[in-house]
Amino acid sequence: MKTFPKGGVHPPENKKASGSAIEVLPLPKSVRIHLSQHLGAPAEPIVAKGDMVKAGQLIAKSTGFISANIHSPVSGIVQKIEPAPDSSGYKRPAIFIDVQGDEWMETIDRSPNLIKFPDLNSEEIITRIGRMGIVGLGGATFPSHVKITVPKGKKAEILIINGVECEPYLTSDHRLMLEKGEEILVGTQLLMKALRVNKAVIGIESNKPDAISHLSTLCARYPDIRVETLQVKYPQGGEKQLIKAITGREVPSGRLPIDVGAVVHNVGTAFAVYEAITKNKPLFERIVTVTGKSMERTANYLVRIGTPVTELIEATGGMPEDTGKVINGGPMMGQALPLLDVPVTKGTSGIVLMPVTESNRRTTMNCIRCSRCNSVCAMGLEPYFLMSLGEAKRWDDMEQARVMDCMECGSCSYTCPSGRPLLDYIRLGKNSVNRLIRSRSK
């Protein structure tokens, strides 16, 4: 079984919700759509207070190359456009829509029929993906049309579909692969066409044997696509790690996957691409796992973007008494939520409720130089050293020590026997080095 060679950890999987089929969450009373729910420039609203919108209607336009359109997830009336706290608690502009009925744009094909081979060329696919506001659904929310636009002078050779889902607890990609396998494969073909590659590999970790066998069987009819079983190891879902595991190529430091001829997309993205191209449906809903150790029921929901997180928790039987932390995303890279009325965004892959007993950090002790952080770092960095530089605010030295290579997978903090906040300081360093680089280029 293939995997990436250096580093990695194996946290307890806790994938409780892997057996729960995808359910459609009932529509909320109102939704809140933040204008910045993708990487890059925030979108600009094109609706005004009081406007009637339909589900799938464009409500905010992308404002640059790295930016994405936002479509209304529901039909209803725009109540207001004003700053509201996002998942960090800071106020960021958002569009509030009061839900009325469920009327979709007429252009959207709502039939469940599978459409296999739409007759479109590469450019048409890319523009349509851009128009439909599709972003990377693995969590990074990088606008997808940017990723499939191959820069001049470079050539894509292989498309990798990321079905790894190495984060503990989360099962949304797993369910999607089981229930929408054929659609994912058609989406993959469309992405291949857009990239002009003739080879695609779907990487799945061996802890999802049902998904592997399901997709392998389906792949018999798609000779260009192949399923690769990968050894279970975190952070295999990291783009660079996945490319290394599947192709053996190493993306050079500070470069992009396309530099080694690879492009990676999440299975969720492949499904969204299928819907966007064949069904004309913009990205306004996604699969969200709601799970937690002390939750009696766990679920995978098909949720409209903008639905408050509280509704998801209520629908799954409410918050258990002992909840100490609510995480937007998985426990390794997700973000703890200070407020629960924040909405689901395009990047929300799961809501994980952690019991109080597991919510707190461990007490921090001195570094005992055990070198475990070094050995688990998949990027070959020295987290203990970066942290000590960060504490001393030596940003130049941190840049020299390649802090920008860090992908914040959290393996170092996870493994540290002294419970040191390694990643906290590395993040601080990344932000400061980023500022340094920007001020230099001015």
Partner 1 sequence: MNTVVITIISLSVIGSLSGFILFLIARKFKVFEDPRIDDVEAVLPGANCGGCGYPGCRGFAENCVKAESLDALFCPVGGNDGMVKIAEALGKVAVTKDPTVAVIRCSGSPDHRTRTTRYDSAATCEIASGLFSGDTACSYGCLGLGDCVVVCTFDAIHMNPVTLLPEVIDEKCTSCGACVKACPKTIVELRKKSKKDRKIFVSCVNQDKGAAAKKACSVACIACKVCVKTCEFDAITIENFLAYIDPVKCTLCRKCVSVCPTDSILEINFPPRKVAEVETVVSEIQAN
Partner 2 sequence: MSATNLLTISYSPHQFGSESVQKIMYRVLIAMVPAFAVSLIFFGLGALAVTSIAVVSCMSFEYLINRFMFKAGSTLWNGSAAVTGVLLAFNVPSNLPVWMIIIGSLVAIGIAKMSFGGLGKNPFNPALVGRVFLLISFPVQMTSWPKAIESRFAYLDAATGATPLAILKEGIKNGQPLSDLMKEVPGYAQMFLGNMGGSLGEISALALIIGGLYLILKKVITWHIPGSILATVVMFTGILWMIDPGKYADPLFHLLAGGIMLGAIFMATDMVTSPMTPVGQIIFGAGIGLITCLIRIFGSYPEGVSFAILIMNAFVPLIDKYVKPKRFGEELKNG
Q: How far is the CB of 272 from partner 2 (least distance, A)?
A: 25
Q: How far is the CB of 49 from partner 2 (least distance, A)?
A: 32
Q: Which residue of 415, 429, 430, 433 would you call a contact of partner 2, by CB under 8 A?
A: 415
Q: Which residue of 280, 359, 388, 434 would you call a contact of partner 1, by CB under 8 A?
A: 359
Which residue in this structure is represented by tokens 């001049």?
152
423 binds partner 2 (CB under 8 A): yes
Comparison of 116 and 402: residue with beta carbon closer to partner 2: 402
Q: Which residue of 19, 209, 338, 419 would you call a contact of partner 1, by CB under 8 A?
A: 338
Ranges within 206-245 binding partner 2 (CB under 8 A): 240, 244
431 binds, among partner 2, partner 1, none (CB under 5 to 8 A by kind): partner 1
Q: Which residues contact 52 (CB under 8 A, 6 or more apart)?
A: 75, 76, 77
Comparison of 131 and 325: residue with beta carbon closer to partner 2: 325
Ranges within 299-328 binding partner 2 (CB under 8 A): 323-327
- Count of Cβ atoms closer than 10 Å to residue 255 Cβ: 11
Cα of 256 vs its chain's centroid, Å: 18
428 binds partner 1 (CB under 8 A): yes
349 binds partner 2 (CB under 8 A): no
Which residue in this structure is represented by tokens 């490319």?
243
Ranges within 58-117 binding partner 1 (CB under 8 A): 85, 88-91
Q: Which helix (H) or strand (E) holds 429?
A: helix 422-441
Q: How far apart are CA 421 and CA 400, in angstroms?
A: 21
Comparison of 255 and 435: residue with beta carbon closer to partner 2: 255
Kindly provide the residue ranges of all beta strands, DSSP E only, lying in 243-313, ordered along the sequence: 262-266, 285-292, 299-304
Ranges within 259-288 binding partner 2 (CB under 8 A): 260
Q: Identify which range of 52-60, 199-207, 297-305, 422-430 contacts partner 2 by CB under 8 A.
A: 422-430
Nearest by Cα to 234 from 414, 9, 14 = 9
Q: How far apart are CA 386 and CA 408, in angstroms?
A: 13
Q: How far apart are CA 373 and CA 385, in angstroms?
A: 10
Q: Which residues contact 203 (CB under 8 A, 6 or more apart)?
A: 160, 161, 162, 163, 164, 228, 230, 236, 242, 245, 246
Q: Which residues bind partner 1 (CB under 8 A)?
A: 85, 88-91, 336, 338-339, 359-361, 421, 424-425, 427-428, 431
